[in-house]
Amino acid sequence: MIWCSLASLGSAEAVGDADAGKKLFAKCKGCHEIGVGAKDRIGPHLNGVYGRNAAAHEGFSYSKSMQRAGADGLVWTERTLDAYIEKPRALVSKTRMSFRGMKEATDRANLLAYLRIYSDNPSDVPEAEPTAHATDHDIDPVILALKGDPDYGEYLSSECLTCHQSDGSAEGIPSITLWPEEDFVIAMHAYKRKLRPHPVMQMMAGRLSDEEIAALAAYFKDLQ
């Protein structure tokens, strides 16, 4: 069992119990293997996942969305893995991973403690990251419940449409037309919190209020 010390981490939370995480990994076994002799299945094996760039495991065929996330600089750390396991599409909107997410923070912490065993230098991957657990990345349900004004969203959309195509084509840049509103809001707030790594999108999302994001989501939801 791995226990994570808090001696030098102030108020950070400890990351979980690897023995409990091993049991939780049963939810992942249908697609992933881990440990000695692990091979790729529907999903890539998870040995050495800590510190690895998204879509960087050689020989595995990743979705275009995951490849874009890796090209944008997404690295699997305690924080990004936690967010992905909690709600996969918060980080990668069109991920092929069918897992709906793990709601309980304690369960995620335990699972991550188990995954750490099979990473290089698991006690230091890197520095404080494996032994601290971010607590400030949940989206307030009030934000998700905001009803956006699509007309205002259309007014705001000109900057978005300098890169994203209104006809829904996705050559080089992913389409955002006809996205469900919640998917759009989750993605934009992930950029605001710098969970998603694309610097231009981080800047754009950082300038938008919650109401403006809701308005854009309402506009692009029905854009034909």
pLDDT digits over 82-132, tens only? 999 999 988 898 889 988 899 999 999 999 999 988 886 555 444 334 333
Residues 149, 96, single domain; the answer is no
Across the range 74-87, mean pLDDT stands at: 91
Asked if residue 136 belongs to a domain, the reply is: no
Lowest-confidence region among 13-22, 78-87, 150-159, 160-169: 13-22
pLDDT of residue 128: 33
Q: Which residues contact 22 (CB under 8 A, 6 or more apart)?
A: 114
Residues 145, 127, single domain; the answer is no
Q: Is the pLDDT assigned to residue 208 strictly greater than 50? A: yes
Asked if residue 215 belongs to a domain, the reply is: yes
Domain boundary among 99, 131, 163: 131
pLDDT digits over 128-152, tens only? 343 333 333 367 778 888 899 999 9
pLDDT of residue 152: 95
Quick one: the chain helix, strand, coil %, rounded to 5?
Answer: 40, 0, 60
pLDDT of residue 138: 61
Asked if residue 99 belongs to a domain, the reply is: yes
Q: Which residue has the higher pLDDT, 120 or 20?
A: 20
Residues 35, 83, single domain; the answer is yes
| Three-state DSSP class for residue 131 | helix
Residues 126, 27, single domain; the answer is yes
Residues 40, 105, single domain; the answer is yes
Token pair recorded at residue 183: 């998917």
Across the range 29-42, mean pLDDT stands at: 93
Asked if residue 5 belongs to a domain, the reply is: no
pLDDT of residue 15: 62
pLDDT of residue 10: 29
Asked if residue 179 belongs to a domain, the reply is: yes
Alpha-carbon distances of 178 from 31, 80, 167, rounded to whole Å: 29, 26, 10
What does DSSP assign to residue 37? T
Residues 204, 113, single domain; the answer is no
Domain boundary among 131, 149, 177: 131
Number of domains in the chain: 2
Lowest-confidence region among 64-73, 172-181, 212-221: 172-181
Residues 126, 146, single domain; the answer is no
Residues 96, 26, single domain; the answer is yes
Q: Residue 152 and residue 98: Cα distance in Å, rounded?
A: 34
pLDDT of residue 155: 95
Q: Residue 89 and residue 86: Cα distance in Å, rounded?
A: 9
Asked if residue 9 belongs to a domain, the reply is: no
CATH number at residue 115: 1.10.760.10
Residues 103, 199, single domain; the answer is no
What pLDDT band is residue 3 in, cutting at 50, 70 and 90? very low
pLDDT of residue 125: 43
Residues 73, 159, single domain; the answer is no
> Alpha helix locations (H) across 11-159?
18-24, 64-72, 78-86, 105-117, 141-144, 150-156
- The residue range of the domain holding 154 is 141-221
Domain boundary among 131, 153, 177: 131
Please report how many Cα atoms fall inside a 13 Å half-sphere around the Cα of residue 145, on the Cβ side: 3
pLDDT of residue 2: 29
Lowest-confidence region among 5-9, 18-22, 111-115: 5-9
Asked if residue 10 belongs to a domain, the reply is: no
Asked if residue 86 belongs to a domain, the reply is: yes
Residues 105, 209, single domain; the answer is no
Residues 101, 44, single domain; the answer is yes
User: What's the mean pLDDT when you consider all of the chain?
Assistant: 82
